[in-house]
Amino acid sequence: MAGLDEQQLLELIESADSDAVETGLRALRADDPQQARRIEAMRRDRVLLQSLPPIDPPVDFLAELEPQIARPMLMDDVPTTATQPGAARRAAHRNRMRSQLMQAAVAASVALTVFVGAWITASSLGLFDSSDNTLAESDNPGSNESQLAVNDSSDIDNAADISNDSLDDVLLTGDLHHRAPNLSDIQRMTSRRLVASTNRDTAHAQPNPSTVNADAQPAFVMADFALVLNSKDETAAQSHLSAAIDTVTQHSAVIKNLTVPELKLIEQAWLARRAANGNPVGPLHAGVGDDPPANRRPGTANANRSFHLNVEMLQESVEQLIAEGLVAGSSDLMPDYDQQIELSEAGLRYTLAIPVSELKSVLARLNAVDAGNNQLVLRESLDTGPNAVQPMAWATDLNDILVIHDRLLREQPDAVLLLPVVLSQVK
């Protein structure tokens, strides 16, 4: 094994394939024992370095920067629409100009301190034009979209509008809210196989029940009831759900149903990286109104928008989508993106996928974690008010739910139950 180059030696040091490493080191020992010892030592060195802990900054470290963080917000007027190419560079230039002008303004104010009284008097008399601060231009420094995304400006606007109706509360304020599920949409979904997608028929498709041996795949059933999970925040909710399916060995997952704005952001980032790597592609989704009339549904604009994601082209993005949407469990159980959008827009932020037979034990584990704060509610009982879910409704609904569940157990014992989850903030 004479003459291993640096990259081959590095491979021996860093590879996680212990069998390959052992084979390589054995050959190296035979050829150059001293080099082999050194490589083994360098493997150990790597572990040492990896064990170095992060170093925490001083407490309130950012407090010193807070005034500077706040300052741009007072100056800038950043609209949300997409911009032309180069706008960000112009924006950065304007920001620099603003900064320099502000510094000059501060210096001028100091020089005029002696005449403060006259200054205030003159201001009150309206002698100074209040539109002096024309530095804050109305055109856009903001989003630095690539040219490919310019065509999507209307999509971005609509996405922002829709997000205001649905998940903006969660994203911006951290508050969790009730949203009445659109029952007609949900009922429509029960007749579809949720994880099938006609677009995923290429070799690069993510592992998906529709592309794997169909005989091995269970049937999927959308529950007629929802889990209302009371939790102090979304992170705790994810943790509780993940813990609840921890012991379910097969066909289990906790999925966060991505929204249109989230998918849009992931796509934008992916497009930018593709362009940077010399492989630009156009936007992959159809714009608003592109759906043929027969496919349009009343309601939100998002329902009319179809994301025909070509998995082959979006291989990287698919991995990130999985990473973003899969909280725990098997990615095979993730609804496709159209369905995730429908669920999330109906306020069903998560989907819990479990075998029908495991429902009661999963609920028991959830209650054990969260001291019985969770509720199962028939979806038509859900309300939009702040005190939407009434305890008495739960007591009544539980009998109905058990009837539904018992029927499922009888008729489809091997099915995977897709249980929508509504997050409710603990008061």
Residue 268 makes contact with other proteins by CB under 8 A: yes
Residues 6+ apart with CB under 8 A from 17: none
The Cα–Cα gap between 105 and 99 comes to 10
Span 81-140, contacts to other proteins by CB under 8 A = 88-89, 91-92, 95
Residue 262 makes contact with other proteins by CB under 8 A: yes
Min. distance of Cβ 317 from other proteins in angstroms? 11
Residue 6 makes contact with other proteins by CB under 8 A: yes
Reduced to 3 states (helix: H, G, I; strand: E, B; else coil), residue 321 is: helix
CA distances from 409 to 245, 302, 351, 390, 415 (A): 19, 35, 20, 27, 9
3-state helix, strand, coil in the chain (%, to 5): 55, 10, 35
Residue number, 65 or 125, with CB nearest to other proteins: 65
Residue 44 makes contact with other proteins by CB under 8 A: yes
The DSSP output letter for 355 is: E
Residue number, 55 or 216, with CB nearest to other proteins: 55
| 197 contacts 309 by C-beta, under 8 angstroms | no
Residue number, 274 or 305, with CB nearest to other proteins: 274
Q: Which range touches other proteins (CB under 8 A), out of 242-250, 303-311, 375-383, 392-400?
A: 242-250
A 10 A CB-CB count for 382 gives 24
Residue 306 makes contact with other proteins by CB under 8 A: no
Residue number, 7 or 399, with CB nearest to other proteins: 7
Residue 157 makes contact with other proteins by CB under 8 A: no
Cα 361 from chain centroid (whole Å): 29
Smallest CA-to-CA distance from 346 within 180, 176, 234, 221 is with 180
Span 317-346, contacts to other proteins by CB under 8 A = 320, 323-324, 327-328
Token output for 316: 């990287």
Return the residue matching tokens 């159980």.
333
Span 379-408, contacts to other proteins by CB under 8 A = none
Min. distance of Cβ 140 from other proteins in angstroms? 9
Min. distance of Cβ 240 from other proteins in angstroms? 8
Residue 63 makes contact with other proteins by CB under 8 A: no
Min. distance of Cβ 414 from other proteins in angstroms? 24
Min. distance of Cβ 239 from other proteins in angstroms? 3
Residue 236 makes contact with other proteins by CB under 8 A: yes
Token output for 195: 């994880």
